[in-house]
Amino acid sequence: MRKLSFAAMAMLFLPYAQAEERYCLNAVTTGNERTASVRCHQSNSDPLDLKSDPLIKAAFTTLELDPSLVDFKGCEGIGFRTTNSEADSGAKYLISYSSNTGDKSIAPVIHELGHVAQLEISGGYRILSNLYSPTQIELGADYLVGIVFKLGLPTESTAQFERNIELAGIYMPARNASKNKHGNPSMRVQAFRLGVHTNKNETKIKSIHQDFQDNVYGTIN
Ligand SMILES: [Zn+2]
């Protein structure tokens, strides 16, 4: 049933996905209604030039990800998400982002890079989703955003990014909050802050990911 709903999500949001293994890890859902139209930038797939953004570069470094693994695609009015890359790409993953959110895109895109780290560590979406619930995966990505700020961006003020990761009004509160796989806003902020303020000295992202799932996730309420 869960696999079916993921496939349905992928069909809904990813008409152009070339994924053998269809999945969709969304940072943001823009509402309970289907997006009527999406305008992608044909001539410039990364209109915010996130690939060159110093904060995004720091995230790649902290998460131990090779930037060549990821393509970015900005479109107006879509949710943030991570999928398999498109067929003609040399990259492995495609992070799509809403191009009209400006600087507010940074935290959600780092959340998506957290998903890429989870996928790389686990060996793919099937394994990841068999190991952990959707909420564990989503809060795990928020925790990794916090880790990026702790280890990679220690001088950045986190307040602004904390608001963006929550993106109240854009993050879907859901008709039934218990069905929102991202967790409610309070849980998301907790996960982010636990990452920022952890006093553990671990720097290996695989160990940090595992520690979150084994020891940290259960403390979030
Ligand atoms: Zn997510």
State in Å: Cα 214 to ligand 1 middle: 19
pLDDT digits (tens, 9 = 90+) for 82-115: 999 888 889 999 998 888 877 888 888 999 999 9
State in Å: Cα 88 to ligand 1 middle: 25
Q: Strand, helix or coil at 70? A: strand
pLDDT band at residue 13 using 50, 70 and 90 as cut-offs: very low
State in Å: Cα 113 to ligand 1 middle: 9
Hey, CA dihedral for 126, 90, 38, 192, is it positive or negative? positive
Which tokens hold the place of 180? 């929102």
State in Å: Cα 155 to ligand 1 middle: 25
Q: Are strands 81-84 and 93-98 parallel, antiparallel or unpaired?
A: antiparallel
Which tokens hold the place of 152? 């990679």
| Domain ranges, ordered by start, for the chain | 2-122, 125-219
State in Å: Cα 27 to ligand 1 middle: 4
State in Å: Cα 173 to ligand 1 middle: 14
Determine the Cα–Cα distance for residues 163 and 165; give it in Å rounded to an integer: 6
Question: How many helices and strands (H and E) does the chain possess?
Answer: 8, 5
State in Å: Cα 111 to ligand 1 middle: 6
DSSP category for residue 148: I
Which tokens hold the place of 208? 């940090």
Contacts by 154-160, CB closer than 8 A, 24 or more apart = 156/55, 158/192, 158/196
Determine the Cα–Cα distance for residues 58 and 188; give it in Å rounded to an integer: 22
pLDDT digits (tens, 9 = 90+) for 65-77: 999 999 999 888 7
pLDDT digits (tens, 9 = 90+) for 132-159: 998 899 899 999 999 999 999 998 888 8
